[in-house]
Homo-oligomer: A and B are copies of this chain.
Amino acid sequence: MAQMLHDDCPGCAAPDLAFAQHDHAHCAHDALARAEALIAARGLRLTPVRRRTLEILLEAHRAMGAYDMLTRLAAEGFGNQPPVAYRALDFLEEQGLAHRIRRLNAFTACMHPGEAHAPAFLICRACDTVAEAPATPVLAALTKAARHSGFVIERSNIEALGLCHTCQEAAA
């Protein structure tokens, strides 16, 4: 296999460009390594179910429903009841390794764990790809609007539905 450098992978260099062509295996490997380190640093455990759940999310590179995940996990010998999937997914979300896309009732792997961020998601209604967009300015605007009412934001979810660049061209 060819050696891969971080800077050669557009997916890793600019994780917000999920729609762009890139060597996804590299992103996945990279994200998993960072996840391991993060969890260990927090004194928590990336157990087999949790680790495998994250791997599946990373490989899928798209939003997955909890029951899709459950099917995959069960096929690999883990439990086959909903809490198995929900517990792993919830853990990953709490640790910032995955995000919940409420519009889709689905979960997606975080492409840059560790960096503090309240993400914004761009959901293509044609190809179902979910991209994580840089949301710092968005969150800033939201925080400002909230402060105007004396409201303090603790968590936020910002999701947009539309068409990605590729699907726009396909439609035209």
Give A residues with C-beta under 8 Å from B.
16-20, 102-103, 120, 122, 124-125, 131, 133-135, 137-138, 140-142, 144-146, 148-165, 168
Closest B residue to A122 using CB positions? B151
| CB pair A138 B141 closer than 8 Å | yes
Interface of chain A, helix or strand or loop or mixed?
Answer: mixed
- A158 proximity list for chain B (CB < 8 A): 138, 142, 156-159
- A156 proximity list for chain B (CB < 8 A): 158-161
Q: Please give the distance in Å from A164's CB to the nearest CB on chain B.
A: 5
- A125 proximity list for chain B (CB < 8 A): 154
Q: Please give the distance in Å from A19's CB to the nearest CB on chain B.
A: 6
Q: Give the contacting residue for A103; candidates B102, B135, B140, B148; CB below 8 A.
A: B102
Q: Please give the distance in Å from A47's CB to the nearest CB on chain B.
A: 28
| CB pair B145 A154 closer than 8 Å | no
